[in-house]
Structure 1
Amino acid sequence: MSTFDVDDILSQLHVKEKVQLLSLKDFWHTANIDRLNIPSVRLSDGPNGVRGTKFFRSVPSACFSSGTALAATFNMPLLEQLGKLMAEEARHKGAHVILGPTCNIARGPLGGRGFESFSEDPYLSGIAAAAIIKGIESQGIGATLKHFVCNDLEDERNSIDVILSDRALREIYLLPFQIAIKEANPKCVMSSYNKVMGEHVSQSKKLLTDILRKEWGWDGLTMSDWFGVYSIKSSLDAGLDLECPGYPLMRKHDALIHAISSREINMDVIDIRVRNILKLVQHALKSSIPQNAPEDSENNTPETSALLRKAASEAIVLLKNESSILPLKPSDEIAVIGPNARIPRMYGGGSASVNCYYGISVYDGISNKIGSQPPYSMGCDIARNMFDLGKLASYKGEPGVRIKVYKEAPGTPDRSLIEEFRYDSLQLLLFDYNHEKLDSSLFYFDIEGEFTSDKDMSYDIHLSCLGTALLYINGELFIDDKTNQKMGFAAIGASSLGDTKTIHMKKDERIEFKIEFGSAPTFTLETLDLVASNGGGSLTVAIGEKITDQNRINDAVELAKTADKVILCVGTSSDWESEGFDRPHMDLPKSQGILIEEILKVNKNIILVNLSGTPVTLPWIDEIPAVVHGWFNGMESGNAMADVLYGDVNASGKLSLSWPKRCEDNPSFLNFKSDKGKVVYGEDVFVGYRYYEKVCREPLFAFGYGLSYTAFNFDGLDVKVAADNLVCTLNIKNIGKLRGAEVVQLYVIPPLTTTTVSRPLKEFKGCQKVFLEPGQKITTTISVPIKYACSYFDVERQKWSIESGEYGVFIGNSSDAMDALIGKFVIQKPLLWSGL
């Protein structure tokens, strides 16, 4: 079947078949109705790469830059190219629909999933999301705009009630979705976990039907976030089409049939929901991707690498460059120091993580660039759980561990072997693990491996799990996480506290270890977490040298003394920025602050490279001559960083969110956690730069800020209103000596005569990224619809309002540009409007 008539199929479906379609049948697939040749549609995460159908043993995939990094390119044509590459990745994973992009608001620096979103600014978020969606859907793959709406913090995310004004909801949090739907019309929208004004979004008729469908005229499919449905009737009546994942938590087939037969749920509502699902199936058929297509990693090509490298390099933001210490010369005597130097920090934690084709660290990138390996010191460790033992293990001379899967517990006579395989990790996320020979989520892993020490050293070994586990070393029980479990912490799901014990080893000494793991149903503790109670659980076994950070710092200081310049790589990691929890503060994790202070004492020529998805505190900024922000920048991040550090690529990234001096300075500081199940968005419409400008508080670095190795000049601004658009034309010239790119940023200033509502001093409304040779001058134009350039939301009238009066135009290379061009235009008649 290449296509079908939706209404005809709908008329032939039995009630039981309709009920099956209203939820996924497993973690990633819609239900298939074989009687009518209705195939299953495959969904796949996500924001940083298309994973396919598995967390555990997933097929390798391309790892893209994080959302905040992509927005920092300010290059919408490039984002559209990346969307096309995401679609190509989806084809290789047999996926019809990608669960992304994310366009929530980074309303503060502490959000656990802040790196997944694009920006603090709703307009930038909306046009970035639209560009990626256009790219994805131009290739026949469906995109999913998420998480609708106000999923802007992780604290108690399933129950948190977001309290905010109608203006803030409309002007800041709904606006990115509105713009993306207007410009790109995605096939799917995913509802958020949280409540808004007392009602879960997944059962909010106001949000899912009145605004999304009726006001905006969107006619795609709405799906829940995973385990984000909290009712049967309310979610169906409100407009939620698809419950995810399956087997359903709320829309259990018998319960739903009973609700229909007892007229608790109207059959017309069921038909509306099913029709939207069938329309998605119809679209998927046009993609020519077959049901249950095999997954491969054959898109690991030079072309994929080149585009990801280009995107990563354009995202990098040069924050400081005193005395032109950058770009580096190949002849510079450098030392590379820091916990983020040799470990690629490609993505944040949670569902954004992918099994990458490969990962290039900053150290790798620099080594590739200069053709040799520079001296290196770790400086300190920022890992929460030490190092994955599976990455260091071997079994019979081959890397990794051997895993045997059984139906029955160890010691059971004639155990049923399900499968046997080798695996290179002991960080096992098994929520979606299944096998055709298993009829439940109860199973057992017998894991065997060896570890050889390359030095005389004491090691800490840690084990924790969602399930039960026993770790044996050389035949002796070493860690028991079964007999007396205690509850610990997990970003997703739940976990035991586990145990950490020390082992002493000589150089070249080898130990043999065995782990007996029972899946989540064997967990001896009670957990209410739905992810934890609906899958196979998890296991983490980690190892770390028993060495203090002070010893590491001492080694780094000695190395720094020998170098002309120190590339000091700091930041966060997926351990610290992740789905499931928010950061407690903005400070660099663990001993990085001490490391920086000690290096400064012996060498002032520091190039500080920060890798994090969102800002960190930099109290040493005045003492450090160069600061480069590299985000979580995908699998080519190390090569891209080396390209910028050595000047093969001119820095052109701009901050997609303001960088406060202190966490206390950011407008969400007092309101970024659950307060007995509620959070008040007290900053209202004054998010990010809107707040800093309104209260005259300077951030460390402003929204839109970023330096270049060359210089640009703007002049000749012409502002006019034509055909319902604000059209701004200007000249831009490269007045430096190097090729480079500049981002022309448009901000609109509301009329000074406005007295009805308090408005930001100015708002971002558009951009153009321009590439210029030395001495080259071009004319560029930015056009934006007047409705989106000038409006605020009139709560009394429940419509968007454009006031008459004189508006200002501010055009510069950042939101705080000192040499910005200023123009004006006049709106003669006020206007009220709604819709898109």
Structure 2
Amino acid sequence: MLDADFDVEDVLSRIPMPGKIKLLTGLGWWHTEPVPEVGIPSMRMSDGPNGVRGTRFFNSVPSSCFPSSTGLGSTFDDELAFQVGKALADECKAKGCHILLAPTVNTQRSPLGGRGFESFSEDPHLNGSIAAAYINGLQSQGVAATIKHFACNDQEFERFSSDSVVSERPLREIYLKPFQIALKKSNPWALMTAYNRLNGTHCSEDNKLLQDILRKEWGYEGLIMSDWTGVYSTTESIKAGLDLEMPGPAYMRGKAVERALIGEKLFPSDIDDRVRKILELLKRAYKSGIPFDGPEEGVDSPQLRALLRKAAADAIVLLKNENNVLPIPTSGPKKIAVIGPNAKQAFTSGGGSARLASTYTVSPLEGITAAAKELGATVEYAIGATSHRYLPLLDGYIKQNDGKPGALVEFWNESPSASFLDTMTNLQETLPECAWSMPTLGSNCFLADGYSTIFVPDESGDWELGLNIAGNGNMFFNGTMVIDLSTNPEQGESFFGLGTVDMRATVKGLEAGKEYPIEVRLSNAQFIGRGSPFTCRGGIRLGAMKFVGEEEAIQEAVKLAKESDVTILVIGLNHDWESEGFDRKDMKLPGLTNRLASQVLEADCDTIIVHQSGTPTEMPWVDGAKTLLQAFYGGNELGNGLADVLFGKVNPSGKLSLTFPQRLQDSPSYPSFGEKGEGYGKVLYNEGIFVGYRGFEIKDLKPMFPFGYGLSYTSFGYSDLQVSQPTPEGNFTVSCTVKNTGKRDGAEIIQVYVSDTASALPRPVKELKGYAKVWLQAGESKVARIDLDREALGFYDNRRSCWIAEAGDFVVHACASSADIRLSTSIVLAKTLTWTGL
């Protein structure tokens, strides 16, 4: 092992060329390669951004799950983001992880983006600022952040090949700006390139993007890694500055690098430039004190649980509260109805690489029930309508023969016979969850498995079973085959495109509490690749749900709403609909959700609607709702955080980090997105700089809910806006007095927008340039102060390839949302400023 203060250049000079080439590619999925002969150990990575999953997809060590990034962005709270980053660093240390693959700051061009929930905001300033605070928290504990995906990785459709066609000005002002802000305010130690092409060139080999802008113009000195399987060239990617190809083994490096050196397409100095960055990050890993090749453990403490609960509550946005229906009074209600498909199950995060096995979860139903118990009220539940794309996991309904929760999984090291009855077991694992996959570990890893468990339904009646797998196999229920996925199964979207379609079967007349054996016999011997750059050695997703008749379920919900003192309807999307690997097809809520909402509102006009999603949906019933909360995906403490807001323990202060359109066609990117793009692999960013609220304002188009919007249980008054005149360097200060004019303590988020009254190029009506969150007791006043610089006045002049703030008049607005200007005043920039770089 090296000394923690090793000299990078000295070590670099001692590594033989084969060792240097080895370092350019990862070791498996989650590690860098070691070079033992010179004492170089292997660094460990883990997926984020809302948790630290660790190195195992299969039977992973449970982790804390924080709210999705759109929820964290909606807090407008840099300090909270910093604390979340610190907590994630503690989890990294427990899992022996040196590099967290987070945060994500891609801009939400469209509500349909599959990974939209992973980024903080549609606005570059909010996106980059929250990211910087998150990074600072993480790196303050010695864990490297990996800001991603650089750049314009804004859709999942054809994500490995699509070409984001973006003109220079929106590229700079909208899509690169969050990265630029985060680099300026936090200096992330690693950066991940995007899968896609940008103006014709894959980002992992884009010399302009990685060298001209990132390295030279911005002065970035950290490590640049690829997204997983996101390298498409050898010489080009190395010349462009891509230091590390992930994952291993090498696809585009290794022997190919040796050949390029022989042909002098590459030179030893090119290799040294890349290895130097890996060694510099390794030196930081040494200083962190995190052991190399350490064990993976979980983290749990009262302080962590309190932070998870605070984050869940603070991420909630109150969108409507007519007649002060909320908070629920502490006296009065005796019977509370909880209705909806998102109530009983805790949807902690979106899907894909952001999803993890939580250390624990609290569903909305559980949180509300616990809070109601304190008031002496009873809670009754009805699903009302289903909204799942896949049946809910069997977790909680299954046990092994010895009575312990979970299932028995058996692996074989050779392909089984056609009867799936071989018993050449060489490994057995207890499986706590009903969705898992085995990543590729090498040519001799497991090729087949058997999965067996005992299913114990909690309700009598007919049950529906659902199965999709990565491989070929069959499901047996009570000894009878009920699902056949071994006969030419059709490919689906599960397991990152490696899975089959989801098939379902109904088993009739089950009895509550009775035990029913389930077995899945699976082989993946003929299933590796199939249209995805990823590979895995088998995967199972097994779900079940008591059969729900559509009419019966809605009528049961309506009846319960009529009979109850308070009705809480919890609806929305989940990780089946918002996930890495695919985009949504439309903005509609699934199944009969909209009909359920309309009929429950007819039964109880004071119904409290909780809408849970990572990005916007259509809400055709919204005008009839008096009360509406946007809950996002709230992490472990989703249910308790929601209950704290519903019952008034927490006064909501969140503001939307995204514009919620009335309909998809109003979105500025429509129709140039996803499958509706230009075609031939191109996506034209036709809206230019007018993304999100900028597009709505330039068209004078009213959204359902504007960017930055959110209500409170109290009210706030703004006064005494003071803005200093800009210095010759463009620096100025904005301050205003905010008063809590209501009867409850609470926090207000003051948003500062700037308008350019006259400019050489078109500009948005106004742009967010600063914000401050102020906590005020009832009747209290405070002065909020926000320091700004030339960036708040400038735009990118693509004619001259520089930033410019033109001399002249600007208007500064103190706002409660992008649509709620409280105070405005003018300032004058005396002299035009131009600059490049950070």
User: When the two structures are superposed, what TM-score results if normalisation uses the length of structure 2?
Assistant: 0.96
Cα pair 2:495 2:539 within 8 Å, conserved? no
The residue number in structure 2 matching 1:393 is: 398
State the Cα deviation string for residues 775-811 of structure 1 (Å, max 9, x = none): 111112101122x101111111100011010111010
Cα pair 1:491 1:579 within 8 Å, conserved? no
The Cα of 1:282 is off from its aligned counterpart by: 1.0
The residue number in structure 2 matching 1:813 is: 816
Cα pair 1:442 1:518 within 8 Å, conserved? no
How far apart, CA to CA, are the structure 1 residues paired with 2:539 and 2:664? 34
Alignment of 1:336-347 (within 5 A): 336-347=338-349
The Cα of 1:408 is off from its aligned counterpart by: 2.4
State the Cα deviation string for residues 728-780 of structure 1 (Å, max 9, x = none): 11111111111000001100111x232x2110011000000000011111112
The residue number in structure 1 matching 2:680 is: 676
Q: 1:116 aligns with which of 83, 97, 118?
A: 118
Alignment of 1:602-641 (within 5 A): 602-641=603-642
Q: 1:785 aligns with which of 766, 769, 789?
A: 789
State the Cα deviation string for residues 328-387 of structure 1 (Å, max 9, x = none): 013324211101111111100000001111111111111121226511111111111213
Alignment of 1:754-793 (within 5 A): 754=759, 756-786=760-790, 788-793=791-796
One-letter amino acid matched to 2:329? K
**3-state DSSP of counterpart to 1:715:** strand
One-letter amino acid matched to 1:174? L
How far apart, CA to CA, are the structure 2 residues paired with 1:481 and 1:145? 39
Does structure 1 residue 516 correspond to structure 2 residue 516? no
**3-state DSSP of counterpart to 1:780:** strand
The residue number in structure 1 matching 2:70 is: 68
One-letter amino acid matched to 1:273? R
The residue number in structure 2 matching 1:22 is: 24
The residue number in structure 2 matching 1:693 is: 697
**3-state DSSP of counterpart to 1:374:** strand
Does structure 1 residue 798 correspond to structure 2 residue 804? no
State the Cα deviation string for residues 683-740 of structure 1 (Å, max 9, x = none): 1000111111111111111111101111111111111125642201111111111100
Alignment of 1:556-575 (within 5 A): 556-575=557-576
**3-state DSSP of counterpart to 1:44:** strand
Q: 1:424 aligns with which of 429, 432, 442?
A: 432
Structure 2: runs of 5+ lacking an equivalent = none
Cα pair 2:463 2:510 within 8 Å, conserved? no
Structure 1 residues 373 and 522 mapped into 2: Cα distance closer, same or farther (>3 Å)?
farther
The Cα of 1:413 is off from its aligned counterpart by: 11
The residue number in structure 2 matching 1:99 is: 101
Cα pair 1:453 1:505 within 8 Å, conserved? no
Cα pair 1:390 1:401 within 8 Å, conserved? no
**3-state DSSP of counterpart to 2:784:** strand
Structure 1 residues 413 and 679 mapped into 2: Cα distance closer, same or farther (>3 Å)?
closer
The Cα of 1:82 is off from its aligned counterpart by: 1.2
Cα pair 2:336 2:378 within 8 Å, conserved? no
The Cα of 1:415 is off from its aligned counterpart by: 5.9
How far apart, CA to CA, are the structure 2 residues paired with 1:702 and 1:455? 43
Structure 1 residues 198 and 465 mapped into 2: Cα distance closer, same or farther (>3 Å)?
same
The Cα of 1:463 is off from its aligned counterpart by: 2.5
The Cα of 1:458 is off from its aligned counterpart by: 2.4
The Cα of 1:537 is off from its aligned counterpart by: 3.4
How far apart, CA to CA, are the structure 1 residues paired with 2:270 and 2:778? 62
The residue number in structure 2 matching 1:254 is: 255
Cα pair 1:441 1:535 within 8 Å, conserved? no
Structure 1 residues 70 and 498 mapped into 2: Cα distance closer, same or farther (>3 Å)?
closer
One-letter amino acid matched to 1:12? R
State the Cα deviation string for residues 590-649 of structure 1 (Å, max 9, x = none): 110110121122211111101100111112122111011111111111111111111111
The residue number in structure 1 matching 2:491 is: 487
Alignment of 1:344-423 (within 5 A): 344-371=346-373, 373-389=378-394, 391-396=396-401, 397-410=403-416, 416-423=424-431
Alignment of 1:516-535 (within 5 A): 516-519=521-524, 521-523=525-527, 527-531=530-534, 534-535=535-536
**3-state DSSP of counterpart to 1:492:** helix
One-letter amino acid matched to 1:419? L
Structure 1 residues 370 and 652 mapped into 2: Cα distance closer, same or farther (>3 Å)?
same
How far apart, CA to CA, are the structure 2 residues paired with 1:682 and 1:262? 42
One-letter amino acid matched to 1:556? A
One-letter amino acid matched to 1:206? K
Does structure 1 residue 450 correspond to structure 2 residue 454? yes
Structure 1: runs of 5+ lacking an equivalent = none
The Cα of 1:285 is off from its aligned counterpart by: 0.7
The Cα of 1:414 is off from its aligned counterpart by: 9.0
The Cα of 1:439 is off from its aligned counterpart by: 5.1
How far apart, CA to CA, are the structure 2 residues paired with 1:679 and 1:580? 17
Alignment of 1:581-600 (within 5 A): 581-600=582-601
**3-state DSSP of counterpart to 1:387:** coil
The Cα of 1:455 is off from its aligned counterpart by: 4.4
**3-state DSSP of counterpart to 2:192:** strand
How far apart, CA to CA, are the structure 2 residues paired with 1:394 and 1:557? 35
How far apart, CA to CA, are the structure 1 residues paired with 2:517 and 2:364? 34
The residue number in structure 2 matching 1:642 is: 643
How far apart, CA to CA, are the structure 2 residues paired with 1:390 and 1:315? 27
Does structure 1 residue 311 correspond to structure 2 residue 315? no
The Cα of 1:511 is off from its aligned counterpart by: 2.5
How far apart, CA to CA, are the structure 1 residues paired with 2:167 and 2:837? 19
How far apart, CA to CA, are the structure 2 residues paired with 1:501 and 1:16? 54
Structure 1 residues 285 and 821 mapped into 2: Cα distance closer, same or farther (>3 Å)?
same
Structure 1 residues 730 and 357 mapped into 2: Cα distance closer, same or farther (>3 Å)?
same
How far apart, CA to CA, are the structure 2 residues paired with 1:682 and 1:643? 43
Cα pair 1:491 1:578 within 8 Å, conserved? no
**3-state DSSP of counterpart to 1:214:** helix
**3-state DSSP of counterpart to 2:353:** coil
Deviates more, 1:452-461 or 1:590-599: 452-461
Cα pair 1:123 1:764 within 8 Å, conserved? yes
Cα pair 1:564 1:605 within 8 Å, conserved? no
The residue number in structure 2 matching 1:743 is: 749
Alignment of 1:37-436 (within 5 A): 37-251=39-253, 253-297=254-298, 299-330=299-330, 331-332=332-333, 333-371=335-373, 373-389=378-394, 391-396=396-401, 397-410=403-416, 416-431=424-439, 434=441
The Cα of 1:671 is off from its aligned counterpart by: 1.1
Cα pair 1:101 1:129 within 8 Å, conserved? yes
**3-state DSSP of counterpart to 1:536:** strand
Cα pair 2:437 2:495 within 8 Å, conserved? no
The Cα of 1:9 is off from its aligned counterpart by: 1.0
Aligned residues: 822
Structure 1 residues 777 and 506 mapped into 2: Cα distance closer, same or farther (>3 Å)?
closer
Cα pair 1:705 1:813 within 8 Å, conserved? yes
Cα pair 2:65 2:635 within 8 Å, conserved? yes
The residue number in structure 2 matching 1:704 is: 708
Structure 1 residues 488 and 82 mapped into 2: Cα distance closer, same or farther (>3 Å)?
closer
Cα pair 1:485 1:498 within 8 Å, conserved? no
The Cα of 1:287 is off from its aligned counterpart by: 0.8
One-letter amino acid matched to 1:422? T
**3-state DSSP of counterpart to 1:579:** coil
How far apart, CA to CA, are the structure 2 residues paired with 1:454 and 1:725? 64
**3-state DSSP of counterpart to 1:698:** coil
**3-state DSSP of counterpart to 1:167:** helix
One-letter amino acid matched to 2:775? F
Structure 1 residues 743 and 797 mapped into 2: Cα distance closer, same or farther (>3 Å)?
same
The Cα of 1:270 is off from its aligned counterpart by: 0.8
Cα pair 2:470 2:536 within 8 Å, conserved? no
**3-state DSSP of counterpart to 1:62:** coil
Identity across matched positions, percent: 41
One-letter amino acid matched to 1:305? R
The residue number in structure 1 matching 2:665 is: 664
How far apart, CA to CA, are the structure 1 residues paired with 2:663 and 2:233? 41
